[in-house]
Amino acid sequence: KAGVTQTPRYLIKTRGQQVTLSCSPISGHRSVSWYQQTPGQGLQFLFEYFSETQRNKGNFPGRFSGRQFSNSRSEMNVSTLELGDSALYLCASSSDSPKNIQYFGAGTRLSVL
Amino acid sequence: KQEVTQIPAALSVPEGENLVLNCSFTDSAIYNLQWFRQDPGKGLTSLLLIQSSQREQTSGRLNASLDKSSGRSTLYIAASQPGDSATYLCAVVPFTGGGNKLTFGTGTQLKVEL
């Protein structure tokens, strides 16, 4: 069974640009969550999608948005990039069964110059 | 607001030593607790998941315990090896609100030396 796939692995953008990151969950998983990891703040929850609906949202500005498609693949978008958005963005998928083990992708490393 | 703390922040041990990593959380209303490892620049690998109704879980040389009433979990690693060197993170899912939102601890950076 293929794991969680995130593309691209690396991105370099400049301030003010926008970026879209993609996440393909494990086959059969309907829950996809996004996290931002920085040295200063650690791992912080961005949002979770389940069956194309946003189920949970973290405490991030509206510049961060996401969506989920009918095949459970998810994208997150960051508009008007700031230097502080430089981070490792991680995606996790879960079957949403009672056990709820979450499986993470390798992440997308975003650098904002 | 749930806060998760891990002690120590960093740990260096000789190969073969048994060790304990600690995780504490402020709100005991959790659905489950999960331990992960993260290698430098990589994603997270799930190690163990403990449901709120369980006391411990074991996988190979790893044993995780959960004491929900005191807000504590420990990860025990037996006979440590250099390949165990990584950052270990614990994370909790809240009991209410539904969903899979994980609140992560600050992590313990482990180095196992030859």
Dump pLDDT digits (tens) for A22-66. 999 999 999 999 999 999 899 999 999 999 999 989 999 999 999
Enumerate the residues of chain B whose CB falls inside 8 A of the CB of residue A35: 102, 104
Q: Do A100 and B36 touch (CB under 8 A)?
A: no
Name, in order, each residue with C-beta under 8 angstroms of B48's C-beta and a sequence gap of 6 or more: B34, B35, B57, B58, B59, B62, B64, B75
List the beta strands (DSSP E) in B1-114: 4-7, 10-14, 19-25, 30-38, 44-51, 56-59, 62-67, 72-77, 86-94, 103-104, 108-113
Q: Do B42 and A43 touch (CB under 8 A)?
A: no
For residue B95, the model assigns a pLDDT of 82
Q: Do B99 and A35 touch (CB under 8 A)?
A: no
In chain B the first and final C-alpha atoms are separated, in Å, by 41
Name, in order, each residue with C-beta under 8 angstroms of A20's C-beta and a sequence gap of 6 or more: A75, A76, A77
Nearest CA in chain A to B96: A56
- Residue A77's pLDDT band (boundaries 50, 70, 90)? very high
Q: Do B41 and A45 touch (CB under 8 A)?
A: no
Distance CA A74, CA A46 (A): 13
Nearest CA in chain B to A50: B99
Q: Nearest CA of chain A to the CA of B18: how many Å?
A: 26
Name, in order, each residue with C-beta under 8 angstroms of B24's C-beta and a sequence gap of 6 or more: B4, B5, B6, B7, B71, B72, B73
Average pLDDT over residues A63-70: 97
pLDDT along chain B (114 residues), means of 10: 94 96 94 94 93 94 96 97 97 82 95 95
**Half-sphere exposure (Cβ direction) of A96: Cα atoms closer than 13 Å:** 17
In chain A the first and final C-alpha atoms are separated, in Å, by 37
Of the residues A100, A103, A110, the best mutation for testing chain B's interface (the one with the most B CB atoms within 10 Å of its CB) is A100
**Can you tell me whether residue B39 is helix, strand or coil?**
coil
Q: What is the pLDDT of residues B61-93, one digit of tens each?
A: 999 999 999 999 999 999 999 999 999 999 999
Q: Do A42 and B107 touch (CB under 8 A)?
A: yes
